[in-house]
Amino acid sequence: QVQLVESGGGLVQAGGSLRLSCAASGIIFKVNTMGWYRQAPGKQRELVAIISKVGSTNYADSVKGRFAISRDNAKNTVYLQMNSLKPEDTAVYYCNAEEGDYWGQGTQVTVSS
């Protein structure tokens, strides 16, 4: 109902790519700006990227030029394409419906040196 479901995480070598997906209920997806956040061990959760209901995007400086957020409104799904991954990208990645503050359970991304 209100749960968001993330998928697509895994273990990759530095320089590799992953594509994360977040599936939401239709009503949540339609009314919310969607965001990707991440939390590394011992660190605070930080914003990675956001996309508005009309498709405008913003990114953390640390991922600009490497990550791309997108949304498919027909599928009620938001994506995070992650390229040129670095070990410091290692974290649990979470999806958030901003206006309603709905969170998923997260998906682990691990980037090895």
Q: Are 46 and 33 in contact (CB under 8 A)?
A: no
**Each residue's pLDDT tens digit, 1-53:** 557 999 999 999 999 999 999 999 888 888 889 999 999 999 999 999 999 99
**Each residue's pLDDT tens digit, 63-100:** 999 999 999 999 999 999 999 999 999 999 999 999 88
Q: Are 93 and 36 in contact (CB under 8 A)?
A: yes
**CA angle centred on 83, ends 80 and 84, rounded to 5°:** 150
pLDDT of residue 29: 86
Eight-state DSSP code of residue 84: S
Q: Which amino acid is located at 15 in the chain?
A: G
pLDDT of residue 26: 85
Closest CA to 108 of 6, 4, 35: 6
pLDDT of residue 50: 98
